[in-house]
Structure 1
Amino acid sequence: MQVDDLTSEEYSEFYQGYINNIPEGQSLGMLFKSNIQDLKTITNSISHENLSYRYAEGKWSVAEILQHLIDVERIFQYRALCIARDDKTSLPGFDHDEYVIQSEAGARSLKSLTEEAEIVRNSGIALFSTFSEVVLKRKGVMSNAPASVRAIGFIIVGHTRHHINILQEKYL
């Protein structure tokens, strides 16, 4: 399964930018693994002192971006699990800015953020590896829009890629 297998009925237009961040011709499993390696490469180039750096007033710090990636990945894994299990509950949105404010990311070490990001990603890899082709195509509702399990996987990867690009362009 590759990103070009998705149809526009499998995700909200809101996520198109994340989907556009994904290279064609690679399986979701390979993308999950290469994506976390790319994030680890970035975190290896960050010093603990730079965790609080913000490139502009009102922008998230490096630590907050890393915590945001962890939080969002957990939320999207939960959403994928619900839809995979054919839960008919409409999955609500969440205020990512409020999550960042409440995260206390600035009190964490680079090592703890990096380790948690890798653990959460490995959990996602394990989760998605259990889904059959039928389950991956299953659709539910999240944030009042349709979403398939497989689209959620690609959104996770595209979202991480989006923030890797920001870190490279604005923070490093």
Structure 2
Amino acid sequence: MTIKDLNENEFDPYYGRYIHKLSEHIELTEGFQNGKTKVFQFFNSMPENKLSHRYASGKWSIKEILQHLVDTERIFMYRCFRIARNDKTPLAGFDQNIYMSPSGADNKPIDLLLNEFTATRYASIALLDSLSAEDLNCIGKSNGGAMSARAAAFTIIGHDIWHMDTIKEKYL
């Protein structure tokens, strides 16, 4: 299943900013596997003195962004799972900012954050491997809009790219 199979009616336009970061030839599971390597290498290559850097007051540090990627993947894979299981219960959105302070990301060693990312990614890949194309095509309600299970998953890959691009542009 590739991104070109995804229809615009499978996700809220807000998520297009992430989904449209992806090549039309990207395959879902392969995208998760390749993304795992890219995200790991990107954050692992950061100089220690940059990891707590904020480009402006009130902005997240690089460690906090990595924690945000983990948190977001967990939430979107939960959405993917519920929708793929044909659960029609509307799924709530989440306020990403309230997650940051209790995460303690800036006090975690980068190795711990990278292990958390890797474990989360492996769990996501295992879930995707267990779902059929029919499961991934299911559409539910998430954050007030339509979302297919596969759109929830593709959003994660694009979201990672979005934030790595932001770090390159504003932090380094």
* Partner Cα separation in structure 2 for residue 171 and residue 145 of structure 1: 32
Contact 1:136 1:148 (8 Å CA) reproduced:
yes
> What residue number does 2:97 align with?
97
Contact 1:137 1:149 (8 Å CA) reproduced:
yes
Number of equivalent positions: 172
Contact 1:84 1:135 (8 Å CA) reproduced:
yes
Partner SS for 2:51: helix
> What residue number does 1:107 align with?
107
> What residue number does 2:20 align with?
20
Deviations 1:8-50 (A, max 9, x none): 1100001010011111212111111111111112112113332
TM-score by length of 1: 0.96
* Partner Cα separation in structure 2 for residue 81 and residue 119 of structure 1: 17
Paired AA for residue 87 in structure 2: D
Partner SS for 1:147: strand
TM-score by length of 2: 0.96
* Partner Cα separation in structure 2 for residue 49 and residue 25 of structure 1: 37
- What is the aligned-residue RMSD (CA, Å)? 1.0
Matches within 5 A, 1:12-51: 12-51=12-51
Contact 1:48 1:109 (8 Å CA) reproduced:
no
Matches within 5 A, 1:115-126: 115-126=115-126
Contact 2:90 2:141 (8 Å CA) reproduced:
yes
Give percent identity, aligned residues only: 40
* Partner Cα separation in structure 2 for residue 77 and residue 26 of structure 1: 18
> What residue number does 1:165 align with?
165
Paired AA for residue 17 in structure 1: R
**Structure 1 residue ranges (4+ consecutive) displaced by more than 3 angstroms after TM superposition:** none
* Partner Cα separation in structure 2 for residue 153 and residue 76 of structure 1: 7
Q: Does 2:149 correspond to 1:145?
A: no
Contact 1:91 1:141 (8 Å CA) reproduced:
yes
